[in-house]
A and B are shown apart, each in its own frame.
Chain A
Amino acid sequence: MSKVHMKKDELIEKEVKQARLFQNRRQFLSRLSIGIGSAALGSLLIPDLFSGGGADKEAMAGRLPHFAPKAKRVIYLFQSGGVSQLESFDPKPKLREMMGQDLPESIRGGQRLTGMTSGQASFPLVGSYYDFAQYGKSGAWVSDLFPYMGKVADDLCIIRSLHTDAINHDPAITFFQTGAQQGNRPSMGAWLSYGLGSDNQNLPAFCVLVSKGKGNGQGVYAKLWTNGFLDSVHQGVQFMGGPDPVLYLNNPPGTDKVSRRALLDKLAELNQLQFDAFGDPEISARVQQYEMAYRMQTSVPEVTDLSKEPDHIVKLYGADCLVPGTYAANCLLARKLSENGVRFVQLYHQGWDQHGNLPLEMAGQAKDVDQASAALVTDLKQRGLLDETLVIWGGEFGRTNYCQGKLEHNNYGRDHHPRCFSVWMAGGGIKPGMVYGETDEFGYNIVKNPVHIHDFHATILHQLGLDHEKLTYRHLGRRYRLTDVFGEVVKDILV
């Protein structure tokens, strides 16, 4: 940056400061930028008796975080479609024994089924096509589909007792991401961006990475990373595997950094004339946003450039990690973003909806994600980052213990099952080498330590130093929370 430019920056900075003194500080800051904009801190708020829109004071007055955080950042490896717990982390020998027999009504208990199997004449139980083995000191059971994850089992906390309210993909995944099945509520990452802001002023606080497996996919939706009613600076920014890692990031052909700098300088001078004439601090704020964009043009390609990763890292994640847009590449990118201070990195990997052809499809899916997921845990650990990074792996619901469609010797399908499923967490102050919760021998109902999605959310927020009952935002006359009016922190799994 040239000297002349520095001076101008300082000038603008000074004006912004001046204006800020007189402005409604909350409004100004919340519009300012990704970095500062999310500083939802109490000391910046003024009392507003005509309050309504915007943040509310007591939520903020508590100072965020509410208490010392265990984790600083989250990487969420979302397995979209609904991974079968019965072929991954919750072995049920009983189902093999009873192969083909009807699900006892005493176990089903009249619970609702989806429209895809509710009409089936029978509900033949089906055991896992894949064997399970115990791994590590913890002796956690992991299926043969996930050998790499098995090797890091001592770093994982496997929760077998997650349950959800929704039985179909769209509402279930929306519920997982926003705490509500319907409606336009802020996503988990947006809540964290709002509550904690960003540690890196040159990168968004909430980044999204999407990949596709070959299995039956259900799509993901931009509304999953929505800011909802929060300020749009908290919206997830999608990173793409391609030449434009963030939409509209690249300068057009025929321009370069130098000419872009010249353009920005000219813009700043012209905008300054407007500011002189009108005195509106929004003008200076926009100049600042252009500067931030300019910095992003450097910081984003730096962080998304995977070509400089050493061989041992490439080997760790698997060769796919050099192919942009793959799950493995996204895992590696997630580590880099997280390492650079991004608060919440949300991955989605599609293709886990095995209504049929489960043995074959699930093998393909597992192959896509097993190595890289485990590599991420290992990599963070070797960098000393696992303690402060919470990694989460899992889908929106589980799958039924009975077969959907025709049960064949080596082929079957499973329908959606919201009443129990498995996810794992690693790092971020979660107990490693632990299996939590228990399902019945049919893998149908939870018999011990159920964890509802709201509890799960409360626990994630807790690890980041946030009290889920206090992280609120007032909108349309009501204080909203990620956890609605529910949720209990799952204390048993905390270090």
Chain B
Amino acid sequence: MRRLLSPKWLTLIAVCLFVILLSGYFFTKSETTGLGGSMPLPPMVDYNFHIRPILSDKCFACHGPDHNSREADLRLDTEAGAYKALSKTAGMHAIVPGHPNQSEVYLRITSDDELLRMPPATSNLTLTNYEVKLIERWIRQGAEYKPHWAFIPPEKPEIPEVGRTDWPVNELDQFVLAKMKEMDFKPNPKAEKHHLLRRVCLDLTGLPPSEEQLDRFLADDSEEAYERMVDELLSSPAYGERMAMHWLDVARYADSYGYQDDDIRTQWPWRDWVIHAFNENMPYDEFVTWQLAGDMLPEATKEQILASAFNRNHKITEEGGVIEEEYRVAYAIDKTNTFSKGILGITMECAQCHDHKYDPFSQKNYFELYAFFNNSLEKGLEGLVNSGPSKTPRLTITQTDVENILQFINKGDDTSAVSVSVMGERDEARPTYILNRGLYDAPTERAYPGTPASILPFDSARFAPNRLGLAEWAFNEENPLTARVLVNQLWAMVFGRGLVPTVADFGNQGELPSHPELLDWLAADFRDNGWNIQRLLKQFVLSATYRQSSQVTKRHLQEDPENTYLARTKRLRLQAESIRDLALASSGLLNREIGGPSVKPYQPDGIWEVTSSGRGALTNYVQDHDGALYRRGMYVFIKLTVPPPNMLIFDASNRDVCEVTRQRTNTPLQALVMLNDPVILEASRVLSGRILKESSEAAPRQHIESAFRWILSREASEQELTLLETYHKAELKRFKESPAKAKAFLEVGEAPQEETLPVVEQAALMAVVHTLYNLEETITKI
């Protein structure tokens, strides 16, 4: 890696990125010139950055790591394989460094003969001219292979000199600025204070600032005001909730079993623990170790065992007649995939059925990893629908526990015990076999606990051959992935795009990091400083990079639409839960209770009923009332077969499998939710009522100003106020003409309605508030 970090390398990437952006520009302008027509080639072609992506995508399927599908006994993923004499063509070599015209690879990709040309027509793959030229130049320059960047442990690189002290706040900014300079980008000016406050509140707590926070922050001009606010947010209980929102996706948390009848289960005490662990700022190594192997720690506490429920959050069948072993295997596979995708950032799934076609993972590697999860006490089928909300092995949490050692669990007034499905290990190891094509009934040779050597060999002298050993392996300082992957996940959460954009795939087919040195610096720093998550987030949000405005210039759009160079902050639509939270918080409806059983707020009629089999506790949607209606979005009940529709419409994970990032789409159904979901309408009614009640004497203009501030955390501009006033007048007129409509409009939601308020006036103000909730800015992190 040291070599990769030389200035030469840096220039290389810069040139390469420039070329790519330029090419994007050309092709947008003229789409018909064909791929790569006149793009300049980089002066020095780099294996990791230029060649491997091509070989991996176009060649490895037949000439890569998968030995079963390897053609012509040729592999191009290793130097040895590519340089050796071809077995089929005497005297020829696939690659002869320095000599493209003696290299069969080059001859074949440029052949006019359809029968000889690679990739073959049957693969449906083609190389562009540009790719061919790159390969030619790479061979001419010596065809140097390099290890895959992500499998080399991160080391702290030197912090680049940027010759500017006025902008950078911390090390992170030096890297970002150095990158910007390559393209002659300048950072955006600082975001306005109110925007910054709203942004950081949403990022660290998932909630908009309170009115008090807003007043205090705007009034405080001291240097430390911002950092003080960040510290305050990090130590607020909402911080743990916000972080859990991310982790629940990784851990595919849900409130039902997920298959067929889809009955209720009670994994929520584990969710309460996750919130608690984040709020305690539990180091990431400990946080994950407990979840992977809490039950195996010496004299494991109930809390540690509870944490291990992480590995029981996957779907569990209660379907009569299933073949138990088929499902027991499916559960172990899910655990394996969740570990590799969520913690290691690699996709092992392919190797379940065959050797990986792109990454150096064999099917044997897969089942070696699987072996760690194959020794659980759980059954493939323990009971049919209605057999209970947890499965063996389970942890029973009593009232005494909650009053003493597990105080973070919110059982409310219910004093009965609650049970959670957790992990437990068999005494005698269950033998693991490689399963042909991943099928439960096709065992072949024996496999023993192990990890892919290309990442970090599983040294049995250092690590025990069980889940606890696996956790130690993951957090060993030589592990190249764990720290990078978490840093990248959280970066994506805050900045909207990972430094490695394919957050779940650090393998050969994943995208390369935009800022490799920054990623390594952050990862090494995170690892060397006790895996401290809050410290990491603080580095992010205190940076000048983070504090830039989100203004987009023409040049940004032309040359960096994805904001790879971070010369601005990207406007990001809030995630599903936060949209709900924002409406509830700004209207004053939000119930700040933490944890406990998930809740069932308003939901369109019939959507559980029409799909349900008619068996189990979740056949009918029984809506909650009172305070339970106003809990945060993360507590909304997730029935796996029918997840809450308003959440899915805003790209929430359906929690079927481990997910590490969400999409951010923009669809008409989202508009319909914002316009017509009773949650938003009720918030509009309640906020309008509150404003009218608090300042009944004030003019409509002041009411509007006040609503604006509640929802958008800033003062409305003169222009905005005028527009809204005009609208308010028109609505007032409309409702005056038809008070029945005003009354009907107000009849939404179960929150009590202040009867003394003037109906027509409130309806008109409610219409304005409703408009404000529908602004693009409202559901966007600016």
Chain B residue with Cβ nearest A469? B124
Binds A, one of B174-182, B207-215, B390-398, B500-508: B500-508
**B671 to A, closest residue via Cβ:** A293
Closest to B497 in A: A53
Given contacts A34-B668, A270-B771, contact A24 B35 (CB under 8 A): no
Interface bin, chain B: 35 or more
What separation, in Å, do the CA atoms of A170 and B667 have in the docked complex?
30
Select one of B512, B669, B780 contacting A248, CB under 8 A: B669
A336 at the interface (CB under 8 A from B): no
Does A130 sit at the interface, judged by CB under 8 A?
no
| Interface 9-residue window, one of B74-82, B154-162, B557-565 | B557-565
Partner of B669 from the list A47, A170, A237 (CB cut-off 8 Å) is A237
> Does chain B have a CB within 8 A of A493?
no
* Minimum CB–CB distance for B182 against chain A, Å: 15
| B 549-562 to A, binary, CB cutoff 8 A, 1 in contact else 0 | 01111100110011
Tell me whether B322 is interfacial, beta carbon within 8 Å.
Answer: yes
Residues of A near B507 (CB, < 8 A) are: 477
Residues in B with CB closer than 8 Å to A210 are 610-611
For residue A25, CB closer than 8 A to chain B, the reply is yes
**Interface size in chain A (residues, C-beta < 8 A):** 104
User: B667-678, CB under 8 A of A: which get 1 and which 0?
Assistant: 111111101111
Stretch at the interface among A218-226, A338-346, A366-374, A453-461: A218-226
Across the interface, which residues of B come within 8 angstroms of A250, CB to CB? Answer: 676
Question: What per-residue 1/0 map shows which CB atoms of B402-419 lie under 8 Å from chain A?
Answer: 000000000000000000
Q: Is A88 engaged at the interface, CB distance under 8 Å to the other chain? A: no
A147-155, A251-259, A310-318, A433-441: which lies at the interface:
A251-259
- CB of A242 within 8 A of chain B? yes
Interface pick from A89-97, A100-108, A281-289, A301-309: A281-289
Residue B24 at the A interface, CB < 8 A?
Answer: yes
A201 CA / B386 CA spacing, docked (Å) = 45
Q: A87 in the interface, Cβ–Cβ < 8 Å?
A: no
Report the Cα distance A12→B730, complex, angstroms: 24
User: Are the CB atoms of A287 and B776 closer together than 8 Å?
Assistant: yes
Q: Are the CB atoms of B671 and A290 closer together than 8 Å?
A: yes
Q: Among the interface residues B36, B349, B509, B675, which one has the most CB atoms of the partner chain A within 10 A?
A: B675
What separation, in Å, do the CA atoms of A218 and B347 have in the docked complex? 32
Q: A46 CB to closest chain B CB, in angstroms?
A: 4
Q: Is the CB of A183 within 8 A of B656?
A: yes
Chain A residues near B744 (CB, 8 Å)?
253-254
- Contacts of B510 on A, CB cut-off 8 Å? 52, 477
Interface contact B776-A248, CB-CB below 8 Å: no
The segment from B226-234, B427-435, B538-546, B718-726 that touches chain A is B718-726
Contact B347 A263 (CB under 8 A): no
Least Cβ distance of A27 to chain B in Å?
7
Q: Which residues of B contact A267 (CB under 8 A)?
A: 771, 774-775
Stretch at the interface among B140-148, B258-266, B271-279, B593-601: B258-266
Contact A24 B673 (CB under 8 A): no
Residue B747 lies at the interface, judged by CB distance under 8 Å to chain A = yes
Task: Closest A residue to B35 by CB, please name it.
Answer: A47
**B612 contacts the other chain (CB 8 A):** yes
B667 touches A249 (CB 8 A): no
Asked whether A218 and B613 contact (CB < 8 A) given A33-B668, A281-B557, A289-B666, the answer is yes
Across the interface, do B561 and A222 meet the contact criterion of CB distance under 8 Å?
A: no
**Taking the complex as formed, is B91 at the interface, i.e. its CB lies under 8 A from any CB of chain A?**
no
Binds A, one of B458-466, B523-531, B646-654: B646-654
Q: How far is the CA of A218 from the CA of B613 in the complex (A)?
A: 5
The answer to whether B665 and A233 have CB atoms under 8 Å apart is yes
Report the bound CA distance from A238 to B510 in whole Å. 34
The distance in angstroms between the C-alpha atoms of A19 and B554, with both chains bound, is 9
**CA of A43 to CA of B657, assembled, Å:** 34
Q: A21 to B20, Cβ gap below 8 A?
A: no
Residues of B contacting A22 in the complex (Cβ-Cβ under 8 angstroms): 28, 554, 557-558, 561
Complex Cα gap A280–B552 (Å): 6
Taking the complex as formed, is B53 at the interface, i.e. its CB lies under 8 A from any CB of chain A? yes
A116 & B125 in contact (Cβ 8 Å cutoff)? no
Check A50–B511 contact: CB distance below 8 A. yes
Task: Answer whether A23 and B321 are a contact pair too, CB < 8 Å, given A184-B656, A270-B720.
Answer: no
Return the contact of B648 from the options A37, A117, A235 (Cβ within 8 A).
A235
Residues of B within 8 A of A252 (CB): 676, 678, 681, 745, 748
A231 at the binding interface (Cβ < 8 Å): yes
Q: Does B149 contact A (CB under 8 A)?
A: no
Q: Is residue A139 within 8 Å, beta carbon to beta carbon, of the partner chain?
A: no
Distance A266 CA – B723 CA, assembled complex (angstroms): 7
Instruction: Report if A200 contacts B (CB, 8 A).
Output: no
A52 contacts B501, C-beta separation under 8 Å = yes
Q: Flag if A218 contacts B771 (CB, 8 Å).
A: no
> Is B319 among interface residues, defined by CB-CB distance under 8 A?
yes
Chain A positions 261 through 287: 1 when the CB is less than 8 Å from some CB of chain B, otherwise 0: 011001101110110011111110111
The smallest beta-carbon distance between B259 and chain A, in angstroms, is 5
Q: Tell me the complex Cα distance, A242–B743, Å.
A: 24
Whether B571 pairs with A167 at a CB distance below 8 angstroms is no
**CB distance A219 to B260 under 8 Å?**
yes
Given the contacts A247-B604, A278-B571, A289 and B504 also touching, CB distance less than 8 Å: no
Q: Is the CB of B666 within 8 A of A477?
A: no
- On whether the beta carbons of A57 and B35 are closer than 8 Å, the reply is yes
Whether, in the assembled complex, A217 has its beta carbon less than 8 Å from a beta carbon of chain B, the answer is yes
A481 to nearest B CB, angstroms? 10
B297 at the interface (CB under 8 A from A): no
Indicate which residue in B550, B657, B724 contacts A183 across the interface (CB closer than 8 Å).
Answer: B657
Establish whether residues B324 and A222, one from each chain, have CB atoms under 8 Å apart when the complex forms: no
Contact among B558, B642, B668 for A222, CB-based, below 8 A: B642
Q: 21 A-B residue contacts at CB 8 Å?
A: A31-B665, A53-B511, A59-B124, A115-B324, A184-B656, A218-B613, A219-B641, A221-B611, A233-B665, A246-B669, A246-B672, A253-B745, A255-B741, A263-B771, A270-B723, A270-B775, A279-B551, A286-B671, A289-B666, A469-B124, A477-B508
Extra 5 A-B pairs, beta carbons < 8 Å, given A46-B27, A50-B512: A49-B53, A53-B502, A115-B320, A218-B613, A219-B641
Closest 7 CB pairs of A and B: A477-B509, A254-B745, A116-B321, A219-B613, A114-B321, A221-B641, A293-B671
A contact residues vs B (CB 8 Å cutoff): 19, 21-25, 27, 31-34, 37, 43-44, 46-53, 57-59, 112, 114-117, 167-170, 182-184, 210-212, 217-223, 226, 231-233, 235, 237-238, 240, 242, 244, 246-255, 259-260, 262-263, 266-267, 269-271, 273-274, 277-283, 285-287, 289-290, 292-293, 296-297, 325, 350, 415-416, 469-470, 472, 476-478
Which residues of B approach A to under 8 Å, CB–CB? 16, 20, 23-24, 27-29, 31-32, 35-36, 50, 53, 57, 124-126, 128, 130, 259-262, 317, 319-324, 330, 333, 347, 349-350, 357-359, 381, 441, 501-502, 504-505, 507-512, 550-554, 557-558, 561-562, 571, 573, 604-607, 610-614, 640-643, 645-646, 648-649, 651, 654, 656-657, 663-673, 675-678, 681, 717, 719-720, 723-724, 726-727, 730-731, 734-735, 741-748, 763, 767, 770-771, 774-777, 780, 782
